Amino acid sequence: MVVMAKKKSSKRILAVTTSAGEYRSVGYRTGLWLGELTHFYDVATEAGHEVVIASVDGGVVPLDPESLTSIVLAMGGTKKRYADRAFMDLLDATLSVSDVSADDFDAIYLTGGHGTMFDFQRPELARLVSEFWRQDKVVSAVCHGPVGLLEATADGRALVKGRKVTGFSWPEEKLAGRADGVPFDLGRALKNKGAKYSKALRPMGKHVVVDGRLITGQNPTSAKGVAKAVLKALR
């Protein structure tokens, strides 16, 4: 008797990126930190799942120039994706968060990059994240992506209230030379919403926090860890 291996169920994950390509306060360029998308995308798709990319406004996704330097691209396979025309074309015509529904996905992943500090608190994204949570689906974010959790709600209160989370830390903003460019301290903002915020002992250290269906990573080095935690939660 031959016992057939049970086929793994494929899941659909919505990855959301910023549409903001500039620091409003100082004027220089920003956008999606590319590796935070590619690292997650690679882990999820190699496991047989589908990742659909959307952005706040839809259309072309701006890329943070610093995420495209040779040193950064060499980390975690991002350079291979950057050279992949078919993949990069996905970032030229993304869906808008206003045009997607949690009904069609099993999880949401909020990518980072400093652009999120300027557009991830939009009401349409807050409604979408809240919708995923109400449907008992996985909600995840990395680096500055948790900005998209700030206005999301659950049972009439802040989604993050009383829950363990992480996100890009203030020491990391200083290390990156962005303390004067960002509009607020993400860690403090999460705490002000009642979240139990934590960070790695050293800036840019890997740090992933799992609180049930809520999964967050602190910085770019944590993106693969977030992906693995999301896949585990989806099993």
C-alpha distances in angstroms, 4 versus 156, 191, 235?
A: 46, 49, 19
For position 8, what pLDDT does the model report? 62
Q: Are residues 91 and 85 in contact, defined by beta-carbon separation less than 8 angstroms?
A: no
Per the DSSP assignment, residues forming a β-bridge with 165 are 197
Statement: the pTM of the whole predicted model exceeds 0.75:
yes
Q: What is the dihedral sign for C-alpha 64, 153, 25, 196?
A: negative
Extract the residue ranges of the chain whose pLDDT is less than 50: 1-6
For position 5, what pLDDT does the model report? 45
What are the b/e assignments for 114-135, b being 16+ CB within 10 Å?
A: bbbbbbbbbeebbebbbbbbee
For position 129, what pLDDT does the model report? 99
